[in-house]
Amino acid sequence: MLDLIAHNLAPIMFIMVMGMLLLGYPVAFTLAAGGMYFFVVGVELSHISPEIRLSWPLAQANMNRVFDIMRNDTLLAIPFFTFMGLILERSRMAEDLLDTIGQLFGTVRGGLAFAVVIVGALLAATTGVVAASVIAMGLISLPIMMRYNYNPGLAAGTIAASGTLAQIIPPSLVLIVMADQLGRSVGDMYVGAMLPALMLVGMYCLYIFAVTLVKPEWAPALPPEARPLGSGGKSLYFIMLAAIGLYIVSYYFIFTEFRYETRVVWAALAATVIPYLFALANRQFNLGYLSKMAEQVVIVLIPPLALIFLVLGTIFLGIATPTEGGAMGAAGALVMALAKRRLDLKTLTQALDSTAKLATFVMFILIGARVFALTFYGISGDIWVEELMLALPGGETGFLIVVTIIVFILGCFLDFFEIAFVLVPLLAPVADKLGIDLIWFGVLLGMNLQVSFLTPPFGFALFYLRSVAPTKAWHDTTTNRMIDPITTRAIYTGTLPFIAINVLMLGILIAFPGLVTHYKSEPVIMDQGDINRTINNIGGSGFGLPGMELDGGLGLPGGPGFGLPGESAPALPNFGAPPATPDAGGGLPAPGGLPAPGDAGGLPRFD
């Protein structure tokens, strides 16, 4: 019996710990307790099975592993983005966006549903919190959609699905954790996820458009009395064209002396700040140049868009790391809330309290996962998982399908933090061995977890929406009529088409990995003027150290070659390469056939 247990300790440990998690025991303590208990069992059985590599001195490694978590700068992005999202949520940004975009699209059938999808994407790119997005849109949009006779299932499904976009649209917390657990760059994960996320938003909009064609009564247009801002299309088009023109002029004619990244930032700043200030002046002094609609759209939309660019734009351009981008986003959210006079001590205290709770929650789960992993790896659990996964038929595709199904099922019961900290580290080595790009793998898992948030009967987004949707008939004062409640069945059936869209998107990602892996082929954009200015600003010519000349060697005074006084550099073997040109800086050809570093003017162009 002991032999059987010793040789199968890894599957026993995994099944028991996962069973305790599914029963609802606290995650952090279950992982840590399971890891410590099976560590003791493994040490006692180590003389029976050579697969068990545990010993008492190894327990000391847990302390170092905990301190490694504390030293992980990447995880700092989690509290930063959480704080940013909470401040924006409490400053009622969602309410402003839904009201404005709802009126902007109100003239078309399904306009409110389109507005919910677009606002869901904007909230995802700013708050990154599913619960906040679903609850905010459920409280604000659902009563309006029911007032104007939207189909209950369509309304509920659109709100729930749009709220879960925070799982996959950067700066998603899921992608941060995935990148950390997979050992990949968060910036690469963001770049890889952006295109699939935008495609998913487009597919949601296409579905709503199809509904308006097949069942136009399910998504009627808003009546004129529900659109007090009017239309104002001409002035809105004018302000959009003006913003594009400002960007082009600023980039190509004004900020030409700056580096590429700096030019993009300053040009984007000019293209947003100038129209924003113009709209504020138009409202303050009643200038009348802009319609009420254009004025409201500019004033409401530009601040969150600017914040998105401040966070994601600087990360994509390589100006800031994700942690630094999160810090700038948190600061930007505070500025936005202050500018709207919606930041007080109570709001700040609540946001800090919630951020501290979430950060502590993540930290304790990660500590428990590290204790679990030390024991699981010590009993060769990683080898067991690898052999199990590699034995699946179908190779890479079979592995991805099975993992997708497993994560989908577990995602209905477990939080994504638990799956990311426990399951992902076990699957990543297998994916790597099969030649699967880990950024692609992480995006697939993130989108999979988004589907699990929507899936009845245990999808978290469904519970969030159920908590704010009316359960009894209510009297609407605007239309002076009783409106039926939203049933749980309507919520569940309304999400089914969006689940099908997500599953289709998962299949597209598996079939076309280039939608994610394009991050590896994006060129590094460098500017010839940047290089020349950098070299010249160092001082002197060439490498520019004072008193150096690059005519011979590295240019130290006193002689050719390496320039040491009184001696020359020894000849180096050329390994079959053509002879070096004597005057090309130290007698060595520049790597890759590039000109010698002594000739700054001959540097290659990268643009």
Q: How confident is the model at residue 249 (pLDDT cuts 50, 70, 90)?
A: very high
Would you say residue 479 has pLDDT above 80?
A: no
Annotate 548-605 with DSSP letters as a single string. --SSSTT--TT-STT--TT--PPPPP-TTPPPPPTTSSTT-PPGGGPPPTT-GGGPPP
Would you say residue 555 has pLDDT above 60?
A: no
- The whole-model pTM stands at 0.76
Which residue's structure tokens are 């990268």? 606
Residue 521 pLDDT: 60
Residue 281 pLDDT: 92
What is the per-residue pLDDT across 389-424, written as a single tens digit (0 to 9) for each?
Answer: 888 888 888 899 899 888 888 877 777 788 888 888
Would you say residue 558 has pLDDT above 80?
A: no
Would you say residue 261 has pLDDT above 90?
A: no
Give CA angle at 414 (412, 418), nearest 5°.
Answer: 145
Q: Which H or E run contains 152? A: helix 152-163
Q: What is the mean pLDDT of the chain?
A: 80
What is the per-residue pLDDT across 293-352, written as a single tens digit (0 to 9) for each?
Answer: 888 889 998 888 888 888 888 888 778 888 888 899 899 989 988 888 888 888 899 989
Residue 390 pLDDT: 87
Residue 460 pLDDT: 82
What is the per-residue pLDDT across 417-453, written as a single tens digit (0 to 9) for each?
Answer: 888 888 888 899 899 988 899 999 999 999 988 888 8
Higher-confidence residue of 605 and 234: namely 234
Mean pLDDT check: name the lowest of 171-175, 242-246, 433-437: 171-175
Query: What is the chain's length?
Result: 607
CA distance 59 to 39: 8
Q: Which of 41, 39, 127, 129 is nearest to 85 (CA)?
A: 127
